[in-house]
């Protein structure tokens, strides 16, 4: 823990300013907050009661304290040693507003809920979100997509909270959104997003969603803890095909395994550590590069010491952020 955090952790002005405006915990285990079910404790954990409480928390949090926004934790790998900073659970940012074909949604809204309610309103363009186990804020933070759809197709603009507590609006055209990529201001988090959709019959929209869900359940290990696609697909190929061709499908290290069902998924078989999963990621990168010359880039977001390891160039490039596509 850095000196600034040590000095502040006993005290307390910043903690006192925010802890009564939501759910506050210290040394909160992160495994229950991630779909991989791994990860040590967060030094501080805060679930703000509403948008204003979140803004207050970010404004008062010392600049030397790292902030980690948390949705469902569906594409996040937290070290076994935990996260030495403040985790912000955004689940209470859950408001949806419909105005004809324009929908504004809070960052904490589950993408599956967003897709269902759009279908109820006869709005098409975000059906794929019915199959993505994350929230809207996380989906935007990496331009999530699958089934030939992605967030950038229908996104109009977003509201972003900066580290100093100020809020800015950014139009989608200014975000440089490409495959699993978006340009966001440093140390910012998404507050809300506005989408511009098209009309269609609700039954037809729901049928497309059912088809997508059926395809996912038949090809991916959704019954076991996982983080979605582990690697981005390289140009002109699929990460899963490359991993399978390298003979790694079904490979187990500790309690983690490269899925027998889909080689771009790593599953927790009940007793995996975060280190087990990182070992499999590194093994897959090394084998694929040795056999094909292709460097697989992680799609899963590395947190804490794992992010430091990637930034030092020991494990390839650090991923952008959340949710995913696969060998489809």
Residue 10 domain-assigned (yes or no): yes
The per-residue pLDDT for 148 is: 87
Residues 227 and 214 in one domain: no
Whole-prediction pTM value? Answer: 0.88
Active site residue 180: yes
Q: What CATH number has the domain bearing residue 56? A: 3.30.43.10
Q: Which domain holds residue 38?
A: 3-89
- Could you say which of 229, 259, 273, 274 is catalytic? 229
Dihedral sign from CA coordinates of 217, 319, 191, 20: positive
Among the three residues 25, 54, 89, which one is the final residue of a domain in this structure?
Answer: 89
Check if 274 is active-site.
no
- CA atoms of 224 and 240, how far apart (whole Å): 18
Query: Does residue 165 fall inside a structural domain?
Result: yes
Identify whether residues 80 and 123 lie together within a single domain: no
Q: What is the DSSP string of 160-181?
A: EE-TTS-EEEEEGGGS--BTTB
Q: Residue 328 falls within a domain, yes or no?
A: no
Three-state SS for 289? helix
Please give the helix or strand (H or E) that residue 284 lies within, else none: helix 274-292
In a domain, 321, yes or no: no
> Are 102 and 206 in a shared domain?
yes
CATH number at residue 172: 3.30.465.10
Pull the structure tokens for residue 296.
Answer: 């697989």
One domain for residues 176 and 106: yes
Q: Looking at the structure, do residues 241 and 263 belong to the same domain, yes or no?
A: yes
Domain count, the chain: 3
- Secondary structure of residue 155 in the 3-state scheme: strand
89, 113, 139 — which closes off a domain? 89
Look at residue 318 and give its three-state secondary structure: coil
Could you tell me how far CA 183 lies from the centroid of its own chain? 15
The residue among 50, 8, 13, 46 whose CA lies nearest residue 28 is 46
Q: Token pair of 154, please?
A: 């229908």
Residue 326 in any domain: the answer is no
- Give yes or no: 299 in active site: yes
Same-domain check for residues 138 and 28: no
Whole-number pLDDT of residue 6: 39
Strand partners of residue 159 = 169, 192
Q: Provide the angle, in degrees to the nearest 10, between the axes of the packed helices 202-219 and 111-120.
A: 150
CA distance 135 to 192: 11
Q: In the prediction, which pLDDT does 70 show?
A: 94
Domain end marker among 195, 218, 241: 218
> What is the CB neighbour count within 10 angstroms for residue 2?
11
If asked whether residues 49 and 69 sit together in one domain, one would say yes
Domain assignment present for residue 236? The answer is yes
Residue 327 lies in a domain: no
The Cα 288–Cα 324 span in angstroms is: 20
Same domain, 100 and 183: yes
Same domain, yes or no: 155 and 44: no
Residue 211 sits in the same domain as residue 230: no
pLDDT at 11: 53
Residue segments in the chain with a per-residue pLDDT below the cut of 70: 1-11, 308-328
Tokens of 288: 């694929």
* In-domain check, residue 320: no
* DSSP one-letter string for 221-280: -TTS-B-S-SBPPPTTS-HHHHHHHTT-TT-EETTEEE-SS-TT-EEE-SS--HHHHHHH
User: Which residue in 72, 180, 208, 216 is the catalytic one?
Assistant: 180
69 neighbors 189 (Cβ within 8 angstroms): yes
Q: 102 with 214, same domain?
A: yes
Distance CA 104, CA 102 (A): 7
Q: pLDDT at position 36, please?
A: 96
Does residue 76 sit in helix, strand or coil? strand
- Exactly one of 287, 299, 305, 320 is catalytic; name it: 299
> Per the structure block, which two tokens stand in for 304?
């804490």
pLDDT at 12: 76
Residue 305's pLDDT is: 83
Give, in order, the Cα–Cα distances in Å from 24 to each of 106, 135, 327. Answer: 21, 21, 40
Residue 65 and residue 109 in one domain: no
d(CA 137, CA 51): 13
């Amino acid at each position: 823990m850095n000196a600034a955090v040590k000095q502040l952790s006993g005290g307390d002005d910043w903690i006192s300013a925010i802890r009564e405006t939501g759910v506050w915990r210290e040394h909160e285990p992160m495994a229950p907050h991630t779909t991989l079910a791994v990860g040590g404790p967060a030094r501080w954990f805060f679930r703000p009661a509403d948008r204003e409480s979140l803004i207050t928390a970010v404004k008062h949090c010392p600049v030397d304290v790292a902030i980690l926004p948390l949705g469902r934790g569906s594409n996040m790998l937290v070290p076994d040693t935990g996260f030495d900073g403040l985790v912000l659970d955004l689940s209470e940012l859950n408001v949806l507003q419909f105005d004809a074909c324009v929908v504004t949604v809070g960052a904490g809204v589950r993408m599956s809920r967003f897709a269902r309610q759009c279908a109820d309103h006869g709005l098409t363009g975000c059906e794929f979100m019915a199959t993505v186990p994350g929230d809207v804020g996380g989906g935007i933070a990496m331009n999530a997509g699958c089934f030939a759809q992605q967030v950038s197709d229908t996104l109009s603009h977003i509201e972003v909270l900066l580290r100093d507590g100020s809020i800015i609006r950014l139009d989608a055209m200014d975000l440089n959104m490409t495959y699993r990529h978006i340009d966001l201001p440093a140390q910012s988090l998404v507050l809300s997003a506005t989408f511009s959709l098209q009309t269609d019959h609700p039954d037809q929209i729901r049928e497309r969603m059912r088809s997508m869900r059926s395809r996912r359940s038949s090809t991916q290990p959704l019954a076991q803890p996982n983080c979605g696609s582990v690697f981005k697909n390289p140009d002109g190929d699929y990460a899963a095909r490359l991993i399978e061709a390298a003979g790694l499908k079904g490979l187990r290290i500790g309690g983690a395994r490269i899925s027998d069902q889909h080689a771009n998924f790593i599953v927790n078989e009940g007793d995996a550590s975060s280190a087990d999963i990182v070992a499999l990621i590194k093994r897959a990168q090394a084998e694929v590069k040795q056999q094909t010359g292709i460097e697989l880039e992680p799609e899963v977001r590395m947190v804490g010491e794992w992010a430091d390891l990637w930034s030092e160039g020991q494990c390839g490039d650090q991923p952008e952020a959340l949710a995913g596509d696969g060998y489809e």
